Amino acid sequence: MLKKKKPVNTNNTENINDVNNEELQNEGQEQAPETEAVETQQEAATPTAEEKLKDELAQANDKYLRLYAEFDNFRRRTIKEREEARKTEGKDVIVALLPVLDDFERAQRAMEKATEVASVKEGVALIQHKLKNILGQKGLKEMASIGTAFDADLHEAITNIPAPTDDQKGQVIDEMEKGYTLNDKVVRFAKVVVGA
């Protein structure tokens, strides 16, 4: 027996094509939200100009605060170091003068028992010499004033007297108090008598 062929339903083919088209459209629609989500994430990941400026401002502000704090610490430390230096700035000179002070104490004890003036004079002269040497090592020098021309940068005139000779006019004739320099800078002016 011959079997009859079933007629091909053309509607089914159309239906299959419609289903396929709908699936493709649905897939496209499903992919569209995923693509939009990725794009939204990328937009969120890339900062806007305003956000960049805010970030730069925050960094600059942080850097400024750190520098300010560092400078403030430096200023405080410097002030403290200066105060400590002022308290001990003459320490080396004072320590160097302590042996001279000891010598003066010995001289006083010796003067109480001394019968000869010559030995006391000699002891005092030795102490003075020792004191001058110590101060000289620290940079202190006596100014030679007598016989030099009066210089207002080095001398302080106490009085004027008539000059014994014409070549002594404007010259230092006598010295009432010696002048001193410390490392070539005047620390005490010489008090002098000037010839007029």
Q: Give the CATH architecture of domain 139-196.
A: Roll (2.30)
Coil, strand or helix at 191: strand
What is the mean predicted confidence (pLDDT) over 95-118?
Answer: 84
Q: Where are the domains of the chain?
A: 49-89, 91-138, 139-196
> Mean pLDDT, to the nearest integer, of 169-191?
87
Half-sphere exposure of 167 (CA within 13 A, CB side): 2
Residue ranges of alpha helices (H) inside the chain are: 10-45, 49-88, 91-113, 117-137
87 band by pLDDT with thresholds 50, 70 and 90: confident
Record the pTM: 0.51
Beta bridge partners of 115: none
To the nearest whole number, what is the mean pLDDT of the chain? 80
Distance CA 90, CA 101 (A): 16
pLDDT for residue 80: 93
- Which residues does 164 contact at the CB level (< 8 Å), separation at least 6? 173, 195
Indicate the pLDDT class of residue 38, thresholds 50, 70 and 90: low
Phi (first) and psi of residue 2, to 5 degrees: -90, 130
In sequence order, what are the beta bridge partners of 182?
Answer: 140, 185
Q: What is the DSSP letter of 189?
A: P
